[in-house]
Amino acid sequence: MSRILRAEDLNDFISPGQACIKPVEIVKTNLSGKTEIRVDGTSYYEVGIDGSEKQLEAASITLNDCLACSGCITSAESVLVSLQSHNEVNKVLKENQMKSQGDRQLVVISISPQSRASIAAAFNLSIPSTHARLVTFLTEILNFDYVFDISIAREICLHESAQEFLQRYGARKMGGEAQALPVLASSCPGWICYAEKTHGEVLPYMSRVRSPQQIMGMLLKSCLFANRGIERKQIYHVSVMPCFDKKLEASRGDFEVDGTRDVDCVITTTELVAMIKEANVDLREVTEAQKSKKWDYLPYTHLGSSSGGYLAHIMTLAAQQLFDINDLEVASQKHITIKTIRNNDMKEYTLLSSTGDVLLRMATCYGFRNIQNLVRKLKKDSPGRHRTRECKEYDYVEVMACPGGCINGGGQVKPVLTMEERIYTPKEWVDYVEGIYQGLPTCTLDLKSVQEVYGWMRGQEKELLYTGYRAVEHNLGNPLGEKWISGCITSAESVLVSLQSHNEVNK
């Protein structure tokens, strides 16, 4: 068992702690003597025995600290600091309406497919109807200017992820420059933060393609509206996501240009539902918006999992281009075998030739119990350690921090009474939302629409669609440091919570 992650810590569904465990670096001095603390209003002073005073610095809690609290290692955490809430979005919107027409920002919102499915389940609506009603609510009641479906960004992400895999796999087989296999999906920020903080050795395996959320932000600010002459700072972009860690992802310095983020604020599915309720609106009674240039929606889902379908898309394209297998069907197991490893959150997909030879082997890996096993296989051998099977038996792994994947994100709507007044258990509810999500027609990648979007980038695809990851060095002068590190899954950036919430959008 890893020294950093212990069996008793492996609980993907945790409750918030009652006390902050952030360690404070202890600065040791040679001075000794009695001191006392004097309170003056909101300021605190350390008073020495000689009467000298020193003002004490106020403690601060950042977004990183909150996500690290209570040994949290998953994207299923259920609470952030109160300022990280949808009230910030309302504040931004309200202040924007008070400005003159020429000074207003363009306030846009993009919605993830998983969030849309969760809201559809909560209000007992179809996904297309849910999106159309959300458009009416967001544009006519909350005064957003545009509403977008993140699915178009996911198409770009799937296309680039497949091309990246083919490049790495081909280079490895040709004996050229060393390429790290398996390729590990990198769209889950909880997984990325955990790897950066505690297992830097696995970072070379990570896909370098940006997540759909960050691709969407880039497309809107650096391409679509930029081509219309609108500056990045004039756009305020809100993203609706199924998990809290997407807030952290949006705050990474890699996703800023000239001091403006690609995604200004991330709110969870539950926060959007809270906004609906606070407006005293029943989404079932809202009129469906008519299709217009102010909103878009792709009335289908992609093949594969509700976490984005990365494995299904990459295996399908790889089968075509590498082995001339053009009738692969992952769902019906045509040309492939699917093996459940331990539980449904760890499955192995093997592509076979007509003679039964193994051509490709991929896997889905959800939840930190399975992630820890995956990481153990990837780590290099160390002295005194029993040699384990190399994880290079896999060519690609779709990794997500939450058990069940993104459809079960910590920011999704929890079980509710349906119109039939049925009470769901958490697992039944996730299965119900999954069924709604998978109920949409499926399709392969629409290369025509993808190529149109690529035209917006004007040859800057590598700069705009890819990112990098780095191991975080630990330098905590505190004996509690190991305990804090063992739970911390955050990235190196220190971002204040108050700047990453729907209150900021409203402002």
- pLDDT surpassing 60 at residue 60: no
Q: What is the average pLDDT value for the chain, to the nearest integer?
A: 80
pLDDT at residue 175 above 90?
no
Q: How far apart are CA 13 and CA 330, in angstroms?
A: 30
- pTM over cut 0.85: no
Q: What is the mean pLDDT of residues 337-355?
A: 92
Q: Look at 396 and 473; give whichever has higher pLDDT.
A: 396
Q: Per-residue confidence at 503, pLDDT binned at 50, 70, 90?
A: low
Tell me what pLDDT residue 15 has.
38
Report yes or no: 390 and 381 within 8 Å, Cβ to Cβ.
no
pLDDT for residue 384 is more than 60:
no
For the chain, the residue count is 507
Model pLDDT, residue 31: 59
Residues 6+ apart with CB under 8 A from 102: none
In three-state form (DSSP H/G/I as H, E/B as E, the rest C), the secondary structure along 421-461 is CCCCCHHHHHHHHHHHHHCCCEECCCHHHHHHHHHHHCCCH
State mean pLDDT over 149-173: 92
| Confidence tier at 30 by pLDDT (50, 70, 90) | low
- Give the pLDDT score at 496: 40
Residue 263 pLDDT class (50, 70, 90 cuts): very high
What per-residue confidence (pLDDT) applies to 298?
A: 74
Calculate the alpha carbon distances from 234 to 95, 130, 392 in Å. 14, 29, 46
pLDDT greater at residue 87 or residue 494: 87
- Would you say residue 237 has pLDDT above 50? yes
pLDDT band at 177 (very low <50, low <70, confident <90, very high): low
Distance CA 27, CA 56 (A): 13
pLDDT value for 457: 86
Least confident residue range of 171-180, 209-218, 456-465: 171-180
* SS (HEC) of 275-328: HHHHCCCCHHHCCCCCCECCECCCCCEECCCCCCCHHHHHHHHHHHHHHCCCCC
Report how far residue 65's alpha carbon sits from residue 48's, in angstroms, rounded to the nearest whole number.
31
Q: Which amino acid is at 441?
A: P
CA 294 – CA 263 distance, rounded (Å): 19
pLDDT above 60 (res 94): yes
Confidence of residue 499 (pLDDT cuts 50, 70, 90): low
Copy the structure tokens of residue 157. 């992400």
Nearest Cα to 252, choosing from 503, 500, 1, 506?
Answer: 500
Percent of the chain at pLDDT above 70? 73
- State the Cα–Cα distance between residues 3 and 486, nearest whole angstrom: 9
Q: Is the peptide bond before 182 cis (omega within 30 degrees of 0)?
A: yes
Res. 506: pLDDT tops 70: no
Residue-level pLDDT at 118: 97
Instruction: Report the relative pairing of strands 358-366 and 343-352 from DSSP bridges.
Output: antiparallel
Q: Where are the domains of the chain?
A: 7-506
Q: Does 134 have pLDDT greater than 70?
A: yes
Q: Check pLDDT > 80 for residue 504.
A: no
How many Cα atoms are found within 13 Å in the side-chain-facing hemisphere of 507?
13
Provide mean pLDDT across the span 415-427: 74
Are the C-beta atoms of 329 and 314 separated by less than 8 Å? no
Q: Is the pLDDT score of 247 beyond 70?
A: yes
**Would you state the pLDDT for residue 178?**
58
CA-derived radius of gyration, the chain: 24
